[in-house]
Structure 1
Amino acid sequence: MNSFTRATALAALLLSAAPAFSQYVPPPPARPFPGVLNEKIRTRDVYLSAWDIGVNVRVRHEAKDDAGFTDAGSNWDFSQRPQDDNNNHYELLRLLPRVGYTAKKWAFLVEGRSSYSYGDERFNATTAGQGLPERDGALDAHQAYVFVGNHKEFPVSLKLGRQELVYGDQRLVGHLRWNNGARTFDATKVRWQNAIFGVDVWTGGLVYNDHRNLNRSNSQDRFSGAYFNFPTLAKNEIVEAYLLARNVARGIATDNWSGVAAPFRFPGAQDLYTAGLRVKSKPLAYNAWDYGVEVMHQFGSRTAVFPATTVAAALAAPRLDQDAFAAVLQAGYTWTEHAWQPRLALLYSYASGDKNSADAKSGTFQNLFATTHLHYGYMDLNSLQNLHDLRLAYTAKPKANISLAAELHFQFLDRPTDFWYNVAGVPRNFAGAAVGSGGGYRINPTYSRTLGTEIDLVAGWTFTTYAQLEVGMSHYFRGDYIKQSLAAVGSKDASYCYVQLTLNL
C-alpha cells in the first residue's frame, strides 16, 4: 500500500492548487516535436523530412489493490476471502520503434512493439488470471502498412496491411494503446473523401497477441465496417454514421494457439452488426458550451457461450438473436476566459443488458474493440455492457504543459437478470455459487443494481519536449450489488494508482 499512499499524496497536492478537469488529455509539448531522432535528422538535412524514424518508450508502475487484473481473476474482485489474492503491483515497459516515409502519393510505416511485464503475478498464476500479463516478447510487428493516395488530388485512397483502426471516441473501435499490447488489425481499407461526404470501408482481422510466437490474425474472425463523415451536413456539428460487422466462424473454437491466453483465446461464434450515429459539436461552435450524442443498435446473432470457455461448449452452444442498444449523452462548459481553461462535463453512457437468460434472444450489448479505459473509470472494472455510467468530470490546465483531472463515476447494472461484465467483456460468473447465496458473482435477479462509485484523479506534466510524466489515483466504493454478491465471504473497497513516464525519442 506504500505506493498507493505516495500516489494519493502527490495527486492531492497537485489537485489542491486548482480545479480539476474533464475527459483528461495529456498535455502536449511546448512546441510541435517530431521526436529526438527525427529532429536531429531533419536539422542536418531538410530533405529528409519525409522520413519518420523514432522510438516511443513508455514505463508504468501500477498498484491494484482488492480488484482488477489479479491472480484471483475478476470473479473475486473486492473479495475478502483469505485465499483470494486480488492485489497486484507490477511494472510495464513498452517500446515502439518505427520507420516511415511519406511521399506525395504514397507512404509506408513499419512499427515494431516490444512489451514487457515485471513482477506481474498473472504470468505465473494457476487460477483465473493465468497467462494474462501485458507482455508480448522481445519484438513483434505492431503496424506494417502501405498507403496509396492523395486526397488533395483524388478522392480515393488505399491503406493495406497491419494497421490501427480508430474511430469516434473509441467506444467501439480503438487502438487500446493504454494496454501494453495495444490493438491492431490485418486489414484492407479504402477511403473516399470529397466536399460532401467521406467514408472508410475496410475488412480484416484482429491481430491476436501471442507471446510465444509472432502475432497474427485469424481468418475465422473477420471485422468489417463502413464509417461515414458528413462535413457539410451541419455548420456547427461533426456528424458521423457507421455500420460495423464482426463475423466469427464456429470452427474457430478448434484452433489451438497455446500462447493466446484463455479466456480471451477466441470469441464465440457470432454474426454481429452494429449501426450507429454520432453527433458532436465542433470546438467553440457554441462558445463555452459543447455537447455530444451517440446512439447504437446491435443486431444479428451470437452463441450463448460468449466468449467460449471450452471447445465443446463453443461447438454445442445454440445461437441467440441479438437485439441490443447503447447510447452516450454528454454536455460540457469551459471557462474560456480563465487562464487555466477549466471545464466541467457531465456524461451518461448506457448499454443494454439481457432481460431473460433462458430464452433464445440476447439483449446484452457487445462493445466490440473499444478503448474502454477512456470512458468508464481508470480502474478498468467495466465495459459498455449491461451498464449505466454517470460520469462527472472536471479538468484544468494551470500551465500549457500541465493537465489535471478529477472524475466521479456512478455505476449501475442495466438489468439484474444479466451479468456484471469486466473490462474485456467477460461476465463475472462464479458458477459454484448458488443464486442468492452471496458466495460470488453471477446472475442474481433479486439483488441491487448498484455497482458502486469510482473517484479518479489524474495529473500529467510534459517537463521537456520529449518526456511526459503522468500520475493517477483511483478508489472504488463498492455498492449493494457487490456487497450482496460477496456477503458470504465479505467484501472491501478497491484502490488503484499508477505512475507513468513516456519518452518520444
Structure 2
Amino acid sequence: MREAFKKWTLFWIVMVCVLFGKVDYLEANFTKYKNGTSVWDGKIKFGGRIRFRQEIKDGYYIPNGQKKVHDDLSLLQTRIYVEFMPTEEIGFHLMFEDARDFTEPHPYKPLVPYAYDTAFDVQQAYVFYQPKNSSFSFWAGRREVFYLKHRLIGTTIGWGNKVITYDGAMVTFEDKKFKLDLAYLNWVRPQHTGRLFEHTWFGEPANTLVGWLTLKDLFSGASLDIYTIYDDRRNGEDIYTIGLRAYGKIGSSIGYDINGSLQLGDALVGSEFQDRIAGAFYLDTWYAFDMPWKPTIGLEYFMATGDSHPGNGDYHTFDQLYATPHYSYGYMDLMGWQNMHDLNLKTWIKPVKGLKCGAAFHTFWLFANEDNWYNAYKKVQRFGQEDASHYIGNELDFIFFYDFAKYFTLVGTYSHFFAGKFVAQTGQSSDADFFSMEIRFEF
C-alpha cells in the first residue's frame, strides 16, 4: 500500500511540474528538416544533421524471464542531403547516412535492432514531380514515409540510429477537399555488414501497397482518413489492414484523434498458415490552456488484439506492420501495438523560448495473457502464460527538447517502469530504468 501511494504521489507531482514534449512533425507524411542552405536561385538546397546520443537501459526483460540485462549505448549519426530542382516542378533528393554504435556487442540484440554499426549508405534518393496549379504529384525512389503518426508505417521519428526508409513510388491527388495517396513501398531491412552501400534495393521482406484517402474539413475542422494497406510478405503471408480515422479540433482548445483498424489475411504460425482476423483502436484527446507556458493535458487509450488460443484456429494478434511506437507507448520501447491495452495520461508546456518539457504516465495490460508481451520492435518481451495476470505495469516518462544557438538541440529522457503482476508471475520482476542524453547539430 505504501509503495502504491509513493508511486501515485510521485506521478501527480510530476504531472503538475513536468510536461510531455509534443513533436511538431508527427502530423506530416514525410520527414521534415529545419535549416538548410539554398544556392543558385534556390535550385540547390543542402543541409544535414550530426547527432550523438548516450543511452542506459537498466534491468530490461528478456523473453524467458530467467534474467534481466543492462546495456549502455553510445551512438553517432551523420546525415548529409542535397536537393536539386532544375525547374520549379521537378527535383531530385539525395541523402547519405552514416550510423555508428561504439558499444557493440550488446548483451541482448533484439532490444537494440536499429543500434548496431551500419555501413555508410544511401538513406534517401528519389525524384519528384510537383506541377504548379495541378492536383497531381509523384515521387519514386527511396524515401522516409510515415502514416498514422508512425503507428503503422514509420521512420523512427528521428530516434533510431538507423532510420527506417522505403523503396517505392507514390502518386498523390490533392485539392482543398481531399487528398489521395496511392503507393507501392518496400521496407529497407537493416543490414549490418560493415561494408559500404550494402542495403539491397527492393529486397525483402514484403511488397506493401497503400491507399490513403483524406477528406479535409468535413465539418467544423474535422477530417477523415480512410485507408487500406496490403502487405504481401515473401514468406507467403499477406495482411490486409483497413482503417478509419477521424481527427480535428473542437473550438480552439480541444483536440481529438480516433482510429480503428481491422486486419484480415493469413498468418504463418510455426509451419502452418492460419486465417488472420485482428483489430486495433486508439483514442487521443487533449486540452490546450490559453495561458502563459501554454500548458496542455491529454489522455490516450490504445488497444490491439491478441490471441487467447495461440496455434489453435484463427490468428488474432494485431500486427503493427512497420511502425515506430517510441513516442506512442512509452520511451522505454517495452510495448508495441500488439496484444495490449495502454492508458496514458500526458501533459506538456513551453516554459521559455526553445524549450519543451514533459511527462507521461502509461498503464499497460495484455489483451490476452495467453499471448506474448511484445515490445516496440515486434519482438517477444516476455512469453505469455495462461494463468498469469493481464496487468503488466506502469511507465513514467520525462523528456525535454531545448533548441539553442540556432543549430543545436539538446534532448534528455528518463523513464522508469513499475513492474506489475504479469511480470512477477512470469520471471524476474524488479523495476527497469531508461536514460538518454542527446546533442544534435542541424544545419
Distance of aligned partners of 1:89 and 1:219 in 2 relative to their CA distance in 1, 3 Å threshold = closer
Summarize deviations over 1:32-91 as a string: whole Å, max 9, x none.
9953x61xxx5xx6x4433221121111000000116xxxxx325xx6x5xx46001121
Deviation at 1:374, TM superposition (A): 1.1
Structure 1 residues 382, 130: CA separation in 2 closer, same or farther (over 3 Å shift)?
closer
Partner of 1:94: 77
Who is 2:5 aligned against? none
One-letter code of the match for 1:96? R
The residue number in structure 2 matching 1:49 is 42
Structure 2 counterpart of 1:116, from 72, 82, 100: 100
Distance in 1 separating the partners of 2:34 and 2:327 = 25
Shift of 1:191: 0.8
Structure 1 equivalent of residue 3 of structure 2 = none
**Distance (Å, rounded) in 2 between the aligned partners of 1:492 and 1:189:** 47
Q: Give the TM-score of the pair, scaled to structure 2.
A: 0.89
Aligned AA for 1:166?
F
**Is 1:295 the counterpart of 2:260 in the alignment?**
yes
Give the residue type in structure 1 aligned to 2:153.
Answer: V
CA distance in 2, matches of 1:347, 1:382: 15
In the TM superposition, what whole-angstrom CA distance separates every residue of 1:204-251 from its partner, at most 9, and x where no partner exists? 31111212251123156211111111124233112211100111133x
CA drift of 1:120 comes to: 3.6
Change (3 A) 1:67 1:499: same
Residue aligned with 1:491, SS: coil
**Match of 1:166?**
146
**Residue pairs, 1:259-278, within 5 angstroms:** 269-278=236-245
Q: Specify the alignment match of 2:309 in structure 1.
A: 356
455-464 or 212-221, which deviates more: 212-221
Residue of structure 2 in register with 1:434 after alignment: none
Structure 2 match to 1:370: 323
Q: Distance in 1 between matches of 2:59 and 2:78?
A: 29
Partner of 1:384: 337
Choose 490-499 or 405-414, whichever is displaced more. Answer: 490-499
Aligned to 2:276, which of 318, 322, 329? Answer: 322
Larger mean CA deviation between 441-450 and 218-227 belongs to 218-227
Q: Return the letter of the residue paired with 2:386.
A: P
- The answer to whether the 8 Å contact 2:342/2:365 transfers is yes
Corresponding residue SS for 2:309: coil
Aligned partners of 2:114 and 2:190 also within 8 Å: no
Task: Please give the secondary structure, in 2, of the residue aligned with 1:86.
Answer: strand
Q: Letter of the 1:271 partner, please give it.
A: D
Match of 2:417 in 1: 476
| Structure 1 residues 33 and 23: alpha-carbon distance in aligned structure 2, compared to 1, 3 A threshold | closer
Aligned identity (percent) is 25
Write the deviation string for residues 236-295 of structure 1: whole angstroms up to 9, x where unpaired. Answer: 112211100111133xxxxxxxxxxxxxxxxxx31101111111114xx42221111011
Match of 1:503 in 2: 441
- Partner of residue 189, structure 2: 208
Structure 2 residue identity aligned to 1:189 = M
1:137 counterpart residue number: 118
**Following the alignment from structure 1 to structure 2, what is the Cα–Cα distance between the partners of residues 25 and 402?**
12
Match of 1:445 in 2: 386
3-state SS, counterpart of residue 391 of structure 1: strand
Give the deviation of 1:383 after TM superposition. 0.5
Unmatched runs of 5 consecutive residues or more in structure 1: 1-11, 69-73, 251-268, 306-316, 429-440
Go from structure 1 to structure 2 and tell me whether the alpha carbon gap of 1:26 and 1:239 turns closer, same or farther (over 3 Å shift).
closer
- CA gap of 1:93–1:362, structure 2 versus 1, over 3 A, is same
Amino acid at match of 2:216: P
CA distance in 2, matches of 1:129, 1:443: 18
Cα separation, 2, equivalents of 1:321 and 1:17: 44
1:339 aligns with 2:292: yes
- The correspondence for 1:197, drawn from 157, 163, 178, is 178
CA RMSD after TM alignment: 2.4
The one of 44, 52, 63 equivalent to 1:75 is 63
Residue matched to 2:430: 492
Higher strand share: 2
Counterpart residue identity of residue 24, structure 1: K
- Hey, what's the Cα distance between the residues in 2 that align with 1:85 and 1:411? 19
Once residues 276 and 472 of structure 1 are traced to their aligned partners in structure 2, the CA distance between those partners, rounded to angstroms, is: 33
Shift of 1:388: 0.2
Change (3 A) 1:406 1:249: same
Which SS does the other structure have where 1:339 is aligned? coil
Mapping 1:274-289, distance limit 5 Å? 274-282=241-249, 285-289=250-254
My pick for the range that moved more, 58-67 or 190-199, is 190-199
Report the Cα offset of residue 461 of structure 1.
Answer: 1.0
- Secondary structure of 2:98 counterpart: strand
Amino acid at match of 2:124: Q
Structure 1 CA distance for aligned equivalents of residues 238 and 152 of structure 2: 16
* C-alpha distance in structure 2 between counterparts of 1:26 and 1:93, whole Å: 24
Who is 1:225 aligned against?
210
Distance 1:469 1:48 in 2: 33
Q: Distance in 2 between matches of 1:329 and 1:160?
A: 33
